[in-house]
Amino acid sequence: MLHINRENLKSSHQLVWFIVDFLMLGLLIINLAFIIWDSIYNFVAVQNLLREYTPGLQSLYHPIHERFIFYDMIFVSVFLTEFFLRWGYAVKAKVYDRWYFYPFIHWYDLVGCIPVGSLRFLRILRVISIIYRLHQYKIIDVTSTKLYRFVNFYYEAFMEELSDRIVLKVLSGVQQEVRRGSPLFDKIQQDILYPRRGMLADWISDRVAEAAQEGYVPNRGALRSYLEDRVDTALKQNLELSRLKYLPVVGPTIQETLEEAVGDIVANVIHQILDDLASASNHAFIEDIVNVFLPSPEQMQADETENEALINLIIEIIDAVKTQVRVKYWRENLP
């Protein structure tokens, strides 16, 4: 059932539009029922059936049927009045950036007022918009209704099927491009990335220096202790080094000196590397790495065997993605 939240009706404006929405919702339902009934009554067979079994109802409604346009225009006049009132309020409250946006956004309200059979049913969109507006303001809650859950389930199933087909079509197109040896990747490398090698090297150099400064410099002491402990443990487990302690007189001293020297050398080397990365001097090193990954077109000598293996790898990856896309999750939640 629809749940009315009275706490959200705080201001007088909200209360007025709340009442207007419910009145319009009731009028729209009555009007749509009237249109549907008159469309059914328009068949001669229905008129004859009513004349035979309920002549009183037929004689009462037939004059209304003859003047159906007149009665429908009464509803239309109410709908148009409400439309222009909302338009004026939207202009006054500056709901939209321009005063003439409102009729374009709410086009279905105007088109549904045209007294033509096929266009009258666009008033259903007006009903949906009112219900959505009331739900948006948490005045009513439609998500708890069985109808909403039913429609939402099949809508999600339809969208999943549609999106899966689109994704599979796109991935199949990518596979065809890869099989044909599309020059896209070469164009990206040669025309986009290679001319910007300097910019990429500068950016990566700055990011590496910033990461090293923030992560390494504050923890320099803890890192050194950790490295020395790891090196000491590794040296003690080394069989050849452990044999030095069996040398007479100087054996234990040599072993201890080597352990300290190796630990100090390793720690200093790693600290020097991190210090270099944390300083501006890392730029040349980063630039060399970028140049390796983005060689100049003159340096590029493609190996056909490696290219073929890379193409097969990309195709297999896309196949795996397509297999996963084909999984129908909505079937697991069938009611």
- Is the predicted pLDDT of residue 124 greater than 80, yes or no? yes
Residue 1: per-residue pLDDT = 43
Task: Look at 184 and 193; give whichever has higher pLDDT.
Answer: 193
Residue 2: per-residue pLDDT = 47
Residue 326: per-residue pLDDT = 75
Number of H helices, E strands in the chain: 16, 0
Residue 321: pLDDT band with limits 50, 70, 90: confident
Residues 6+ apart with CB under 8 A from 106: 83, 86, 129
Lowest-confidence region among 39-48, 74-83, 85-94, 117-126: 117-126
Residue 245: per-residue pLDDT = 58
Q: How many Å apart are CA 181 and CA 315, to the nearest integer?
A: 12
Mean pLDDT calculated for residue range 114-136 = 80
pLDDT (tens digit per residue) in 49-69: 888 888 888 888 889 988 988
CB 88 within 8 A of CB 99: no
The CA-based angle 141-146-151, given to 5 degrees, is 95
Q: How many Å apart are CA 52 and CA 57, to the nearest integer?
A: 10
Residues 6+ apart with CB under 8 A from 3: 140, 141, 144
- Is the predicted pLDDT of residue 302 greater than 60, yes or no? no
The CA-based angle 280-284-287, given to 5 degrees, is 115
* pLDDT cut 90: percent of the chain above it: 4
- Is the predicted pLDDT of residue 203 greater than 70, yes or no? yes
Task: Look at 80 and 219; give whichever has higher pLDDT.
Answer: 80
Q: Which two tokens stand for residue 1?
A: 């059932």
- Is the predicted pLDDT of residue 80 greater than 70, yes or no? yes
Q: How many Å apart are CA 95 and CA 23, to the nearest integer?
A: 23
Mean pLDDT calculated for residue range 32-51 = 89
Residue 278: per-residue pLDDT = 65
Instruction: Note the pTM of the prediction, 2 decimals.
Output: 0.48
Q: How many Å apart are CA 259 and CA 234, to the nearest integer?
A: 10
Q: How many Å apart are CA 280 and CA 124, to the nearest integer?
A: 67
Letter string b/e over residues 140-157, b meaning 16 or more CB atoms within 10 A of that residue's CB: bebeeeeeeeeeeeeeeb
Task: Look at 303 and 29; give whichever has higher pLDDT.
Answer: 29
Residue 131: per-residue pLDDT = 83
Lowest-confidence region among 22-31, 193-202, 227-236: 227-236
> Is the backbone of residue 138 left (phi > 0), alpha (psi -120 to 50) or beta?
left
Residue 78: per-residue pLDDT = 92
What residue type is assigned to position 83 of the chain? F
